[in-house]
Structure 1
Amino acid sequence: MASPRPTPEAVRLSAAVDAAAVRLAALRAEVQRAETAEALARLRLGEALAEALGARAVAEARLRASQFDRYRAAAFAPRRPDRRNRLRRLAEKMLARLGAPGRALVRARAALGEGAALFDAAHYRRAAPEPVGADPLAHYLTWGGDARLSPHPLFDSRFYAARNAADLARTGLTPLDHFLREGAADGRDPHPLFSLEWYVSQAPELAATGENPVLHYLRTGASRGLSPHPLFDPDWAGGDLVGYLTEGWRRGASPHPLFDPAWRRESGLDDCETEPLTRFVLTAHDTLESPGPCFNSRTYVEARGAALDPSKDPLSDYLAGGAWAILGPEGLHPALALLDDPEAIRSGLTPAEALARRLRTP
C-alpha cells in the first residue's frame, strides 16, 4: 500500500525545520569562530601584558641599582675606618674589669654615636647565653661582638660576619662597629630581612644624604610604612619589621600575602621556636620549600631554569621579575589570570600575589 502523500503544511514544516537546522549549525560555527578569536585575542593580550610588566620589572630593577649606587657614593665620604688589633681587644677587656669608669672608656673609644640606636640592651640580654652584667653595651664591645651575639633585632651578627669574614678579620672590629663604619656605606646587608638596596629605593633622600638605611628606618622609615625587604609587606604584616621579628611572628603574623605561616606549620616546614621568614630566605634556594599554598617553589624553579638568580630564594626571584618570564604547565602565561583584574595590573601585583590576596586575609 502506497504511503500517503505529505500535505503541503507538512512539507512547509519540514522545510522550515531543515532551514532552522542549517541556521543553527551556521550560528554554532560563528560562535565557535568568535570564541576562538576571543581566546586568541586574550592569549595575545596576556603575552603583551607579560612583556610590558616584564619590561617594567627590568626598569624598576635598574632604577633601584642606580639609586643604590648614588647612595653608596654619598655614604662613602662620612665613613669612619678603624682597626681593632689584638692588643686593643686585650686592653678593652682589661678596662671592662675595672668597673664603671673602665667600661665608660670602652664605650667612648667605640664612638658609636647615632649608631647606638642599633644596640638594644633588652634584645642583647635575651640573646646572650649568660648574664651580661650591668653594662650590656660594654659587654658587647668587649665580649659579645667577638662571640657574634646580635645587638639588635635588625642586626644579625652571624649573618653579617659570615658574609664579611675577611673584612672583620682585617679590621678586628665587631660586626656592628664594622657595619656602622664601613659596611653600610658599602651596601652590606645587616640582616637577611633587611635589603639595603630594596630599602633605599623607597627613600630617595638617602641617595643625597648617605644616611645609614637601618638608622633611617628606625628614625622615620618604619613609621612611614617603608618595606625593608621584598618579602615583608608592613601593611599585610600589621606592623614594622622590628615588631614582626620580636613578637609578631610568634603570634602567627604573615609578613607577605604569599607567605603563610599557618600553612607552613601544618605542612611540617616550620615549628613554633624559630622565626620562619628568615629561615626561608636563607634556605629555600636549596630546599625548594614553598612559602604557602599559592606558590610552589619547586615548580617555579623548574620553569625558571638557568635564569633563576642564585642569590635569591625562589619567591624573591619570582617577585623581582621572574613572574613575567615563565609559562604555566599548559604553555600559557600566568599573566592571563590578571586580564580581569585591572586593579592588580595597576598595583604591579604578580598573578600569585593577586590570587593570594583574593584567598587570604591578613
Structure 2
Amino acid sequence: MSDNVSLVERSVIFNVDFYSHATNRVFMSERDAIEHYLSLPNAEAKDPHPLFSVSWYAARSPDLNLYENALLHFLRIGAREGRQPHPLFDPDWYLSVNRNRSEAAENPLSHYLRVGASAGCRVHPLFDISWYLEANPDVAVAAVDPFVHFVKEGYRESRSPSADFDVSWYLEQYSDVKSIGVNPLVHYLRDGAREGRNPSPFFDTCFYLMANPDVAASRINPLIHYVERGRGEGRKLKP
C-alpha cells in the first residue's frame, strides 16, 4: 500500500480538499486521504482530482481489472498510452500542441498540473486560458488554475471556457442538459454536436458540417475544427 500511496503522491493527481468534499470526510493528512481512496473499488470511489474521472477512465479501459484502482492503472500504463483521464483532457493533444515539453511524455496530466498550467500550456482546444482569466478577474486574483476552476466549479456558475462556447446560452437552449447537471462543454463534445446542437448563437453545427463535407468525413468535432483550422481558413460559421 505504501508504494501505491507514494506513487499517487508523486503524480500530484490527488487533491485532498476536492476529495474530502466529495466524500464528506475530514482526513488527517494527504496520505490518509489517498489510503482511503485506494481502499475502495472503482464503483464506489469518488474522483481523486477534478481532472481525473474514475467512471470515465474505467469505462474506456476494458483491460482494467475489476479490483484494480483506476488512477494506479493510469499512472502505470494509461498515461504512457495516451488514455484520457477526463473527457476534457486529451494527453495526445496536449503533447501535440506543447511539443517543446518533452518531459511531459511520461505523464502529460502530471506535467500540466506541476508546471504546464503555470507555464501557460494549452490544455484543450476549446479552453482559452487568457480569455477565461480576462472574463473572470476573480479567478485571476485567486491565482488558481483556470482550467481546473472551470472543470470544478466554473461551468456550474455559467462561466464559459472561451468566446466560442457559451455555457449560459447552451443551458438556456437545452433544458435537458441543464436538468442532468453535466458540464455543458462535455455534453457538447460527447453528444451535443452529434445531435446537431449548437455551442453558441454564432455557430451552426449542422450548417458547418453540411458546408464542409471534409469535416463531416473526418468525424472531428466541428467546433474544434473551426477553432483549430476553420477560422484561419475563412470557413463560415452559419448561413
TM-score using structure 1 length? 0.54
| Alignment match, 1:121 | 16
* Counterparts of residues 125-204 of structure 1 (less than 5 Å): 125-128=20-23, 131=25, 135-143=32-40, 145-164=42-61, 166-169=62-65, 172-204=67-99
Q: C-alpha displacement at 1:147, in angstroms?
A: 2.8
**Where does the alignment leave 5 or more consecutive residues of structure 2 unmatched?**
134-144
Q: Select 1:234's aligned residue among 114, 126, 129.
A: 129
Paired AA for residue 136 in structure 1: A
**Alignment deviations for residues 38-91 of structure 1 (CA, whole Å, 9 cap, x no partner):** xxxxxxxxxxxxxxxxxxxxxxxxxxxxxxxxxxxxxxxxxxxxxxxxxxxxxx
Higher relative contact order (CA closer than 8 Å, sequence separation 6+): 1
Paired AA for residue 64 in structure 2: L
For 2:128 and 2:224, how far apart are their aligned partners in 1? 13
| Alignment match, 1:271 | 178
Choose 1 or 2 for highest CA Rg: 1
For 2:15 and 2:150, how far apart are their aligned partners in 1? 16
Between the aligned residues of both structures, percent identity stands at: 34
Q: C-alpha displacement at 1:316, in angstroms?
A: 1.8
Aligned residues of 2:125 and 2:224 also touching (Cα < 8 A)? yes
Q: Say which SS state the counterpart of residue 230 (structure 1) adopts.
A: coil
| Alignment match, 2:201 | 293
**Alignment deviations for residues 156-198 of structure 1 (CA, whole Å, 9 cap, x no partner):** 111111111x22138x421111111111111111111112122
Note the aligned Cα RMSD (angstroms).
3.0
For 1:306 and 1:204, how far apart are their aligned partners in 2? 27
Q: 1:254 to 1:113 in 2, by over 3 A?
A: closer
For 2:107 and 2:89, how far apart are their aligned partners in 1? 12
**Alignment deviations for residues 133-162 of structure 1 (CA, whole Å, 9 cap, x no partner):** 663211211115353531100111111111
For 2:15 and 2:161, how far apart are their aligned partners in 1? 23
Q: C-alpha displacement at 1:231, in angstroms?
A: 0.8
Paired AA for residue 139 in structure 1: H
**Where does the alignment leave 5 or more consecutive residues of structure 1 unmatched?**
1-105, 325-333, 336-349, 356-362
TM-score using structure 2 length? 0.78
Paired AA for residue 202 in structure 1: V
For 1:210 and 1:282, how far apart are their aligned partners in 2? 26
Q: 1:192 to 1:181 in 2, by over 3 A?
A: same
Higher helix share: 1
Give aligned pairs, total: 222
